Amino acid sequence: MDFLHALLGRIQSKLSFVSVQPINWKLYVQSFSWGVTLFESYLLLRQYPLYSKAAPPAILEGHFDKDTFEKSQRYGKDKAKFSLFAGIYKQVIDSALIQFGAYAWSWDIAGKILSRFGYGPAYEIPQSILFSAVLFFISSLPSLPLSVYQTFVLEEKHGFNKTTPSLFVTDMLKGWALGFGIGAPFLAAFLKIFKWAGDRFVPWLMGFLLAFQLSMVVLYPTVIQPLFNKLSPLPEGPLRGRIESMASKLKFPLKHLYEIDGSKRSSHSNAYFFGLPWSKHIVIFDTLIKESPPEDIEAVLAHELGHWYFLHPSKLLLISQAHIFTILSLFPAFLHAPPVLRSFDFPEHVARNPPTIVAFLLFQMILTPMEAVVGIGLNFISRQFEWQADRFATELPAKLFQDNAAGKLQLSEEEKKEVEDMADMGERLKRALITLHVKNLSTVWVDWLYSAYHHSHPTLTERLKAIEGIQKRAPRIAADSAKKEL
Ligand SMILES: [Zn+2]
């Protein structure tokens, strides 16, 4: 602990200028956020001409009929136009809020509301919660027309929208209630820890955030998601049988297997897993079940289990802890920094003794350059994980036979037969990916820089090529090891 605090102390002394020098932080935040928006618009302009291509990439020829390809190009074009407009619109709003002192105004309003009820400035936590709520509404309400347009015009036009206006409104209200129900106690605890731990808040706050993240892993599927979607146990049948037997061969601790009514809102489809290390749940979208045969869905699940096998979620959690640590260790320099608050129009009496929540929000805005770089880095890592999971699915039969030969697995004759039947896993995964892309009308021509910045998954073409590469390198690897076995 002492080493940790010595390290944090050194970082603080390097940043001590923040608390004294009158730097124009507002100008800095404005320039950088505009920089990010303009860069994102530039990426869209690079991507845009690709939506005019008349035919899909060679590797996809034969999988896309002309009509579907043209539909996907039109959908992509409409989405790109919308993103370009939405990005600039949101930036104009955010920029105006910063320029005209909306942060200081929200703090002031929150204080006034509380004082009506007889609570003075000593009640920092209630004022912080109210401040966050006011700020949330003034910054998010202007974008409401955008999500209405996106759902009821854009997605509707291309046949994806299944949301009714009443569902849209109840979703929104539920989301707000939930945000407040979880956000307010979270914020209260967060601020309490700051006050209680003083200068030594970093390890305590990290422990708190980790506990919060882990409890969300349990609460999200059991309490939160059922508020929006219906999860029902996947009925007995070939699909359930395949997934259960694959999970047991891999010793995946499958607790529940659900089908989710994703089609209630949208016809985009997917599958995922979640849970604690000893109890996992798999969720499959009803749309995916409708669109692909059980053997192809099995390949999608093999990909998902690849994420589990290589500990991808735990690795991401570890990276996020390192990220949180960096943020928290830089924060104390901004915690007692009147010039930062003055720069964002806070009056002298507030700036003299900065409220923690205000200091933290302004600090986060100042961090946007770092966050943009972290985002690109995380996308890069996530894409590596996707390649790895695709490889896992493609090589799964070979792996199971190797495990069996090494004595790590005891396959019965019937199970050996099942593994043998998995020999075409690569083909099935390719087919499932193509179906997913075709049904979702996903973009197939992607600019490399656009993709590097935005995408957490490799493009379809990249994935198909990689899977083909694995299949070519080990053409009949599964069959060969099967022969050895038998
Ligand atoms: Zn994946």
Q: How confident is the model at residue 5 (pLDDT cuts 50, 70, 90)?
A: confident
Q: How confident is the model at residue 269 (pLDDT cuts 50, 70, 90)?
A: low
Query: Does one domain contain both 459 and 346?
Result: yes
pLDDT at residue 24 is higher than 80 = yes
Q: In this predicted structure, which of 269-278, 369-378, 425-434 has the lowest mean pLDDT?
A: 269-278
- In this prediction, what percent of the chain has a pLDDT beyond 90? 55
pLDDT in tens, 50-69: 999 988 888 888 777 888 88
Q: Is 303 annotated as a binding residue?
A: yes
Ion ligand 1: residues, CB within 5 A, are 386, 389
Report pLDDT for 162: 83
Query: Does one domain contain both 318 and 342?
Result: yes
Query: Does one domain contain both 463 and 400?
Result: yes
pLDDT in tens, 101-117: 999 999 999 999 999 98
Angle (CA) 359 365 367, round 5° = 100
Task: Tell me, in angstroms, the distance from the centre of ligand 1 to residue 435's CA.
Answer: 16
Instruction: Note the Cα 448 to chain centre separation in Å.
Output: 21
Residue identified by tokens 């507030």 is 350
What is the rounded CA–CA span in Å between residue 61 and residue 377? 32
Task: Tell me, in angstroms, the distance from the centre of ligand 1 to residue 279's CA.
Answer: 20
Encoding tokens for residue 89? 């619109």
Report pLDDT for 254: 93
State how many domains the chain has.
3
Residue 275, H or E segment: strand 271-276
Instruction: Note the Cα 380 to chain centre separation in Å.
Output: 14
What is the rounded CA–CA span in Å between residue 337 and residue 218? 38
Query: Does one domain contain both 256 and 245?
Result: yes
Residue among 126, 224, 228 at smallest CA distance from 170: 228
- In this prediction, what percent of the chain has a pLDDT beyond 70? 96
pLDDT at residue 1 is higher than 50 = yes
Task: Tell me, in angstroms, the distance from the centre of ligand 1 to residue 233's CA.
Answer: 22
Average pLDDT over residues 378-392: 94
Query: Does one domain contain both 251 and 321?
Result: no
Query: Does one domain contain both 460 and 369?
Result: yes
What is the rounded CA–CA span in Å between residue 192 and residue 194? 5
Residue among 348, 313, 316, 327 at smallest CA distance from 190: 327
pLDDT at residue 266 is higher than 60 = no
Q: How confident is the model at residue 485 (pLDDT cuts 50, 70, 90)?
A: very low
Full domain range(s) for residue 271: 231-291
Phi, psi of 424 (to 5 degrees): -95, 30
Which of 244, 259, 291 is a domain's end point?
291
pLDDT at residue 482 is higher than 50 = no
What is the rounded CA–CA span in Å between residue 86 and residue 92? 10
What is the set of active-site residues?
304, 390
**202, part of any domain:** yes
**203, part of any domain:** yes
**144, part of any domain:** no
Query: Does one domain contain both 223 and 236?
Result: no
Average pLDDT over residues 173-202: 90
Report pLDDT for 480: 53
**77, part of any domain:** no
**199, part of any domain:** yes
pLDDT in tens, 428-457: 999 999 988 888 888 888 899 998 898 888
Is residue 129 exposed (0-12), middle (13-18) or buried (19+ Cβ within 10 Å)? Answer: buried
Task: Tell me, in angstroms, the distance from the centre of ligand 1 to residue 156's CA.
Answer: 27
Task: Tell me, in angstroms, the distance from the centre of ligand 1 to residue 303's CA.
Answer: 6
Report pLDDT for 55: 87
Beta strands in 416-471, from DSSP E residues, in sequence order: none
Instruction: Note the Cα 17 to chain centre separation in Å.
Output: 35
Query: Does one domain contain both 373 and 460?
Result: yes
Query: Does one domain contain both 183 and 240?
Result: no
What is the rounded CA–CA span in Å between residue 316 and residue 57? 32
Which of 261, 291, 321 is a domain's end point?
291
Q: In this predicted structure, which of 9-18, 167-176, 388-397, 474-483 has the lowest mean pLDDT?
A: 474-483
What is the rounded CA–CA span in Å between residue 446 and residue 46? 9
Query: Does one domain contain both 272 and 321?
Result: no
Report pLDDT for 484: 46
Phi, psi of 448 (to 5 degrees): -65, -40
Residue among 147, 146, 128, 136 at smallest CA distance from 97: 136
Q: Indicate which CATH number applies to the domain containing 239.
A: 3.30.2010.10
pLDDT at residue 239 is higher than 60 = yes
- Across the chain, what does the average pLDDT equal? 88
Average pLDDT over residues 324-335: 89
Query: Does one domain contain both 373 and 268?
Result: no
Report pLDDT for 263: 63
What is the rounded CA–CA span in Å between residue 40 and residue 364? 20
Average pLDDT over residues 335-348: 91
Encoding tokens for residue 43? 């990426």
Residue among 285, 289, 306, 309 at smallest CA distance from 297: 289
Q: Is the CB of residue 168 less than 8 Å from the CB of residue 145? A: no
Average pLDDT over residues 279-300: 91
**122, part of any domain:** no
**222, part of any domain:** yes
pLDDT at residue 127 is higher than 60 = yes
Report pLDDT for 79: 93
- The type of residue at 209 is L
**382, part of any domain:** yes
Task: Tell me, in angstroms, the distance from the centre of ligand 1 to residue 455's CA.
Answer: 12
Is residue 394 exposed (0-12), middle (13-18) or buried (19+ Cβ within 10 Å)? Answer: buried
Query: Does one domain contain both 316 and 398?
Result: yes
Q: Is the CB of residue 107 less than 8 Å from the CB of residue 128? A: no
What is the rounded CA–CA span in Å between residue 438 and residue 87? 27
pLDDT at residue 186 is higher than 80 = yes
